[in-house]
Amino acid sequence: MQRRTLFAAAAATLMLIAATGASAQTKLRVFAGGSGQRPDLMRKLFDQYQAKNPGVTVEMETGGATSELQRQYLSTVLNAKDPAIDVYMIDIVNPAQYYGAGWLEPLDAYLGNAATALKPYLPVYASANVVQGKLAAMPAFADAMFMYYRKDLLEKYKLAEPKTWDELTAAAKKIQAGEGNANLQGLSIQGAPIEGAVCTFLLPYWSQGKEFNDASGKLTLDKPAAAKGLQTWLDMVDAGVIKKNVAEVKTPDTVNEFKAGQVVFAVNWGFAWDRFQQDKDSKIQGKVGVMPLPAMAGGKSATCVGGWQWAVSAFSKSKAESAKLVKFLASPEAGKFLAVEGSLLPTVAATYADADVVKAVPWFKDAGTVVVAGRSRPMSRDYGQVSDAIRTTTSAVLARTKKPEEGVGEIESRLRRVMR
């Protein structure tokens, strides 16, 4: 009797194993960035996909607080031709580099040619994901640098939104003097040698109507204009508008200090809005305004575009299934979900005007124009080197270990070899 039960149990187990094997589960492993890329929401998207595609399980892997750390991690995995990761998320500046290294599978064969597949997307994302005519990756969500400000303080001192950096300096000084709070910073920008400092360098440079590179990627640095741009920040430090240790400030520092009510104007990415308005420890909920970045006097506002892309690993063992997942993750529906749930900026133009999106995040109506006018950082297959040269030098100039002219000369001599 006992033996029989045992037999039955064994048979049942065997059948169960056979059944699981027979359904041929495809397991896809996805690297979904760090906390800034909202893995919590990405997981929900994966769950939605699993529900629609019962044969697929999506495993998620996260890590790396900054774009550089994520790049280092992926470099290690992909350099080793490791097939463990099927799909990964990369920064907007990276498709050219990953394509050049042969780490990503061009998606033309799965999703159609670049022109058709990227038609619904904003121009800057459509162009960033095409390398040498091939569809290198698909947009996940957009981002851009915005100017956040304390609406309540500007109203209190009857100040209009500043249009130039000079106007901003004047406005900030007036508020700082009026509030009489020694810890109140006028403006917070990122000066630590991180990816954000590349934008800190480019913003005042671009807004003088200058280009960093031409269409073919060749360096076209206007040295006096670049030095003038860096000098703008130093002047604001001298005026007490930017704090003295700006060369230590990273993106999260700006977010946290603005949230604590210690900053009047803050330059930061679009994702910060959600943090200012939703975080429980935010002291400034409902007091935040957002506007395009000011320009240099006589110039035109320019912003740095960011954002994340989904790519399929060249070493994946299930490329077709991976491409299918990427198609879903880049779809307008997924973009809408991310916009409504996490106020992540959409990459599809139509989503900005979507009724549900406008209801959930009213400022997206105006954000669309900022993103469209945004410019992307230099596209280069040697972007790691380009970024390093710009951010290290910018930080050193802001730490006052180098004069702006020296720093700009150094950037030029370092990049002449890689950007030719």
Partner 1 sequence: MFEKLKDPGEKTLAFLLLAPAFILLALIVVYPIGKLIWNSFFDLRLSGEAAKFVGFENYALALQDPDFWNATKNTLLITVITVPGALVVGLGLAMLANLPFRRRWPVRLALLLPWALPLAFVGLIFAWFFHTEFGVVNDVLRRLFGLEPTMWLLSPKLAFTAICLAIIWKTSSFMALILLAGLQMIPKSQYEAAEVDGASKWQQFWQITIPMLMPSIIVALIFRTITALQTFDIPVTMTHGGPGNSTQTLAMLIHATTIDYLDVGYGSTLAVLMFLISLVVTGFYLKRIGGNA
Return residues touching partner 1 (CB under 8 A): 68, 71-72, 75-76, 79, 97, 100-101, 193, 244-245, 247-248, 381-382, 384-385, 388, 392-393, 395-396, 399-402
Shortest Cβ 31–partner 1 spacing (Å): 17
Helix axes 332-342, 39-52, angle to 10 degrees: 140
Q: Compare residues 35 and 72 and give the one whose CB is closer to partner 1.
A: 72
Q: Rounded to whole angstroms, what are the CA distances from 287 to 51, 135, 151, 272?
A: 40, 42, 5, 14
Shortest Cβ 339–partner 1 spacing (Å): 32
Shortest Cβ 136–partner 1 spacing (Å): 13
Shortest Cβ 179–partner 1 spacing (Å): 19
Q: What are phi and psi of 15, to 5 degrees?
A: -65, -40
Shortest Cβ 45–partner 1 spacing (Å): 30
Q: Compare residues 50 and 66 and give the one whose CB is closer to partner 1.
A: 66
Shortest Cβ 321–partner 1 spacing (Å): 27
Q: Compare residues 136 and 348 and give the one whose CB is closer to partner 1.
A: 136
Cα separation, 40 vs 248, in Å, equals 29
Taking a C-beta distance cutoff of 8 angstroms, is the pair 107, 135 a contact? yes
Which residues have C-beta within 8 Å of that of residue 189, sequence separation ≥ 6? Answer: 200, 233, 242, 246, 249, 254, 267
Shortest Cβ 382–partner 1 spacing (Å): 5
Q: Rounded to whole angstroms, what are the CA distances from 85 to 31, 97, 329?
A: 7, 18, 16
Q: Compare residues 200 and 351 and give the one whose CB is closer to partner 1.
A: 200
Cα separation, 313 vs 320, in Å, equals 11
Q: Compare residues 20 and 413 and give the one whose CB is closer to partner 1.
A: 413
The total of other beta-carbon atoms located within 10 Å of residue 184's CB is: 18
Shortest Cβ 395–partner 1 spacing (Å): 6
Taking a C-beta distance cutoff of 8 angstroms, is the pair 139, 125 a contact? yes
- The H or E element spanning position 147 is strand 138-150
The DSSP secondary structure of 59-99, one letter per residue, reads: EEE---SSHHHHHHHHHHHHHTT-TT-SEEEEETT-HHHHH
Q: Compare residues 13 and 72 and give the one whose CB is closer to partner 1.
A: 72
Q: Compare residues 128 and 288 and give the one whose CB is closer to partner 1.
A: 128
Which residues have C-beta within 8 Å of that of residue 86, sequence separation ≥ 6? Answer: 28, 29, 30, 312, 313, 316, 317, 318, 319, 321, 322
Shortest Cβ 97–partner 1 spacing (Å): 6
Q: Compare residues 86 and 382 and give the one whose CB is closer to partner 1.
A: 382
Q: Compare residues 341 and 412 and give the one whose CB is closer to partner 1.
A: 412
Of 131, 229, 198, nearest to 384 by C-alpha is 198
